[in-house]
């Protein structure tokens, strides 16, 4: 199933009472809207991401987006106008409309929603009301909370139907897209959402979601790689060219350090391993740069922040000496972290075929926000 993701990021956020718009403030070091962008980019059914913004924010946002993967559309005066602008720009039969101010939606919930599309043209997540609910008009009236559903985003619709529904209520004001849909259609499904998928509306919301995403995000990953050596004119380790009498026997450029690092990151995020993503049976991976591989992986796995990298390289020859410092600096640069968060150690294998082989072990500790 092919789906266009439409992220609404053109709101003013006046209730936050801060100068920055809520969708652009940093949440644990990452702009709020980027959590949704990166999550959608990791979902195979999402074929494009459309970010709906105020035109005045375009230049600042373009600097943050991964090149060529996200299209920007200008929003409208009201939320429903912005939704319609995003829908009209969509290329696929289904659209997932999402508030940029909800950075903590769960991919597992989204997968359940996709399943619901088999027999429905609208699938929306909700949570039940836990507190007593009273309606304050002409005196307080207590509502039966078992009949109250708190509606969340993302909401998935058949594109042509939600477009028509929004056009039909152009003169009305609505609070979400399902409200417009239900005025024209009755084919829908509700799925259980997640209570932590809150919308950031006030500073209290921001503080709460920041705490949730910080405490539940620590992950560790372990990576290992090895390659045999042959006579040659140099090897690449950690992106550093090292002159020596050896070359690596490999399908790619044979950078054992980066391969081990990539597998550690993939392990920490529960992703497929490096062999699945870059199979040596494919022509396009012949002599592929390991730096390019690392860049692809870091964009694919979503939002993460590296806390620590510990790398151990096992070989007798060539001696790494000052190249360890260069590798350490390179790794820090690739990951966008301080060099004191990276350790690179070299050990000998005590003569056990170590002039014929390089082995690398890597341990990572990351904050993962998907």
Binding-site residue ranges for a divalent metal cation? 225, 227, 259
Cβ 213 vs Cβ 303: under 8 Å: no
Helix 256-268 with 323-335: angle, nearest 10 deg? 40
Angle, in degrees to the nearest 10, between helices 290-300 and 323-335 = 30
Rg (CA), the chain: 25
Compute the distance between CA of residue 356 and CA of residue 254 in angstroms, rounded to an integer: 14
Cα separation values, 234 from 314, 316, 355, Å? 17, 15, 14
Q: Residue 212: is it exposed, middle or buried by C-beta count within 10 angstroms (0-12/13-18/19+)?
A: middle
Contact indicator for 295, 327 with CB cutoff of 8 Å:
no
Annotated binding site: 225-227, 251-252, 259, 273-275, 278-282
End-to-end CA distance of the chain: 22
């Amino acid at each position: 199933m092919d789906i266009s993701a439409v992220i609404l990021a053109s709101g003013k956020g006046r209730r936050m009472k801060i100068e920055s718009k809520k969708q652009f403030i940093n949440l644990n070091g990452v702009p709020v809207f980027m959590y949704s962008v990166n999550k959608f980019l990791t979902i195979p059914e999402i074929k494009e991401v459309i970010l709906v913004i105020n035109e005045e924010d375009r230049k600042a946002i373009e600097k943050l987006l991964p090149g060529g993967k996200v299209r920007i559309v200008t929003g409208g005066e009201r939320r429903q106008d912005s939704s319609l602008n995003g829908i009209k720009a969509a290329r696929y039969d289904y659209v997932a409309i999402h508030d940029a101010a909800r950075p903590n939606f769960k991919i597992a919930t989204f997968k359940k929603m996709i399943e619901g599309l088999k027999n429905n043209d609208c699938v929306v997540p909700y949570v039940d009301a836990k507190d007593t609910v009273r309606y304050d008009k002409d005196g307080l009236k207590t509502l039966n909370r078992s009949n109250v559903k708190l509606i969340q985003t993302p909401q998935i619709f058949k594109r042509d139907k939600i477009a028509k529904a929004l056009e039909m209520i152009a003169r009305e004001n609505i609070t979400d897209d399902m409200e417009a849909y239900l005025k024209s259609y009755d084919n829908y499904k509700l799925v259980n959402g997640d209570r932590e998928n809150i919308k950031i509306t006030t500073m209290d919301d921001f503080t709460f979601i920041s705490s949730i995403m910080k405490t539940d995000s620590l992950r560790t990953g372990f990576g290992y790689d090895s390659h045999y050596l042959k006579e040659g004119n140099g090897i690449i380790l950690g992106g550093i060219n090292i002159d020596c009498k050896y070359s690596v026997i490999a399908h790619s450029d044979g950078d054992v350090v980066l391969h081990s690092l990539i597998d550690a990151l993939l392990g920490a995020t529960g992703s497929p391993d490096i062999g699945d993503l870059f199979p040596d049976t494919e022509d396009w991976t012949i002599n592929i740069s390991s730096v390019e591989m690392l860049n692809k992986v870091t964009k694919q796995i979503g939002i993460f922040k590296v806390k620590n990298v510990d790398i151990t390289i096992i070989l007798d020859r060539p001696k790494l000496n000052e190249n360890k410092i260069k590798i350490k600096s390179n790794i820090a640069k690739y990951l966008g972290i301080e060099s004191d968060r990276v350790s690179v150690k070299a050990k000998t294998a005590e003569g056990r075929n170590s002039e014929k082989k390089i082995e690398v072990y890597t341990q990572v500790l990351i904050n993962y926000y998907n």
